[in-house]
A and B are shown apart, each in its own frame.
Chain A
């Protein structure tokens, strides 16, 4: 998991960034990847893969794809039916544009709204691209606009990251809850000065530089290692994991058991 993650060869979208009358032709590449482990379902007896089928609840029969329509559940068991064509007609049309509405301070956008990021690459537009990149870098600004990707329109942020322009799709306001709606948070008291001083001291003592590589996905590492062993035909012993919290307990237990034995 230490290896560098490469940007895939094929772009997922091409079009242009439009700022007023200016157009910068660009391509988008994926740059974030879900690396969680996935398993396929197999038949236990012969190891062959299992497939999903859509089965009609009433007839208990497999329904062919051409006989499937989509239903929106308006109330329990009450559906409004849509054909594929109707839904297609309602989709926002992708006009191959990233329309920029304004520029904002990059740090003023809370990461809560960040959804998914893409590398923005120049498409035979190197000069305009590097000009936009340099301006954003120097000013610490980001461009806010809209894009339509496949069937959905997103608010987006175009910003500088590690020497490139990156487009990050944003969540809509109605997709994020306001934590202040929680009663427990609403009634918080102001801490006393001495308490706050102590808390600040703890924070100061533990302060450091953020480095995401400090964190490793230990579950994925473990499964990867198990896969290696299994493919080599090694025997696997199933260990009962000791949780982090339990380690402290085990240390206390060892000491106490020693003391009790002495008696």
Chain B
């Protein structure tokens, strides 16, 4: 017997605290996309994602066995969450209990989310610093078939013009599902009731300009309508974060777009895991530097 002492050395390639598991698990069966590819995309998109995500509680949609298996929505920090993952504890009015949210404020946390097969990351419209008051206003432009892509684009542009006319700079992204998200960064001091009312009012104004637009929830599922959904502007409610994947068979991504590219022929479903990381510029780069006042009437 040769006595040999074993010494554990750290792999120099180890750049993350995350222990990768089941990297070859297929998460998007239709495209054959594995967990390794999902994590890789999140790593590549991280510089664009983390600025906005970093200070917000998030909720997750996870598919541990891929889209072919069961998926679930998770608000609470999951069991076995590493101690280095930051959390934010707050009473949730919708869940009627205390929630221990995950806060994704670093690359390692984003990688960890990917390793847990998190396909969707949803973030609140306020930050941990002032959770009760929003710093983002969300217009969820939500079409109902048989509307076309061009109908959706037209309505989204109508909304932009309305906001432009009020002197408000807005930002747009695909939802990654059917619709478009238009977002306004705002200065501190507003309440969710105020932002919600603001979005609702703009929606009502748009109904006067287009037969297709509806501003009230009961009509939102009528065939051929486009609902300006204002309801997510509430305490604890969330929006899918920019560059989050969606749990769709085509692995679509909620993708920020420059307004100049929002025009006839744009197909929001084209933005997916395979092409989004290749886009160089981030149209939302200066979003948090453009906090604005809302005209609340």
Pair B23/A243 contact, Cβ less than 8 Å: yes
Bits for B260-288, please: 1 = Cβ < 8 Å to A, else 0.
00000000000000000000000000000
Kindly list chain A residues whose C-beta atoms are within 8 Å of the C-beta of B107. 253, 256-257, 260
Restricting to B7-59, which residues have a CB under 8 Å from any CB of A?
7-11, 13-16, 20, 23-24, 34, 36, 39-40, 43-44, 46-47, 50
Q: What interface size band does chain A fall in? A: 20 to 34
Stretch at the interface among A173-181, A208-216, A233-241: A233-241
Restricting to A217-263, which residues have a CB under 8 Å from any CB of B?
230-231, 233-243, 245-246, 248-250, 252-257, 259-260, 263
Report, nearest first, the 10 A-B pairs whose CB atoms are least far apart: A245-B23, A245-B36, A47-B1, A252-B43, A240-B11, A253-B15, A259-B47, A252-B40, A250-B13, A256-B43
Kindly list chain B residues whose C-beta atoms are within 8 Å of the C-beta of A263. 47
Kindly list chain B residues whose C-beta atoms are within 8 Å of the C-beta of A259. 47
Known pairs A242-B13, A254-B15, A256-B44 / 16 extra A-B pairs, C-beta < 8 Å: A233-B2, A234-B4, A235-B4, A235-B5, A236-B6, A240-B11, A241-B11, A243-B23, A246-B20, A249-B36, A249-B40, A253-B107, A257-B107, A260-B46, A260-B47, A263-B47
Most A Cβ at <10 Å: residue of B8, B20, B43, B46: B43
Among residues of A, the one whose C-beta sits closest to the C-beta of B277 is A252
Pair A257/B9 contact, Cβ less than 8 Å: no
Pair B40/A239 contact, Cβ less than 8 Å: no
How many Å lie between the Cα of A230 and that of B111 in the bound state? 38
Pair B7/A237 contact, Cβ less than 8 Å: yes
Q: Which residues of A contact B (CB under 8 A)?
A: 47, 230-231, 233-243, 245-246, 248-250, 252-257, 259-260, 263
The residue that B9 contacts in the complex, of A230, A238, A250, with Cβ under 8 A, is A238
Pair A249/B20 contact, Cβ less than 8 Å: yes
Q: How far is the CB of A220 from chain B (nearest CB, A)?
A: 20
Kindly list chain A residues whose C-beta atoms are within 8 Å of the C-beta of B111. 253
Q: How far is the CB of A253 from chain B (nearest CB, A)?
A: 5
The residue that B44 contacts in the complex, of A237, A240, A252, with Cβ under 8 A, is A252
Among residues of B, the one whose C-beta sits closest to the C-beta of A234 is B4
Kindly list chain B residues whose C-beta atoms are within 8 Å of the C-beta of A246. 20, 23, 36
Q: How far is the CB of A182 from chain B (nearest CB, A)?
A: 14
Q: How far is the CB of B245 from chain A (nearest CB, A)?
A: 15
A257 and B15 contact, Cβ closer than 8 Å, known pairs A47-B1, A245-B34, A252-B43 = yes
Among residues of B, the one whose C-beta sits closest to the C-beta of A232 is B2
How many Å lie between the Cα of A249 and that of B210 in the bound state? 48
Kindly list chain A residues whose C-beta atoms are within 8 Å of the C-beta of B9. 237-240
Kindly list chain B residues whose C-beta atoms are within 8 Å of the C-beta of A235. 4-5, 7
Most B Cβ at <10 Å: residue of A236, A238, A245: A245
Among residues of B, the one whose C-beta sits closest to the C-beta of A46 is B1
Kindly list chain B residues whose C-beta atoms are within 8 Å of the C-beta of A243. 20, 23
Most A Cβ at <10 Å: residue of B5, B20, B34, B40: B40
Most B Cβ at <10 Å: residue of A234, A243, A256, A260: A256
Most B Cβ at <10 Å: residue of A47, A230, A240, A243: A240
Pair B4/A249 contact, Cβ less than 8 Å: no
Kindly list chain B residues whose C-beta atoms are within 8 Å of the C-beta of A253. 15-16, 43, 107, 111
Q: How far is the CB of B64 from chain A (nearest CB, A)?
A: 17
Kindly list chain A residues whose C-beta atoms are within 8 Å of the C-beta of B47. 256, 259-260, 263
Among residues of B, the one whose C-beta sits closest to the C-beta of A263 is B47
Q: How far is the CB of A32 from chain B (nearest CB, A)?
A: 29
How many Å lie between the Cα of A46 and that of B205 in the bound state? 87
How many Å lie between the Cα of A57 and that of B258 in the bound state? 75
Kindly list chain A residues whose C-beta atoms are within 8 Å of the C-beta of B2. 230-231, 233
How many Å lie between the Cα of A196 and that of B132 in the bound state? 54
The residue that A249 contacts in the complex, of B7, B43, B50, with Cβ under 8 A, is B43
The residue that A255 contacts in the complex, of B6, B20, B44, with Cβ under 8 A, is B44
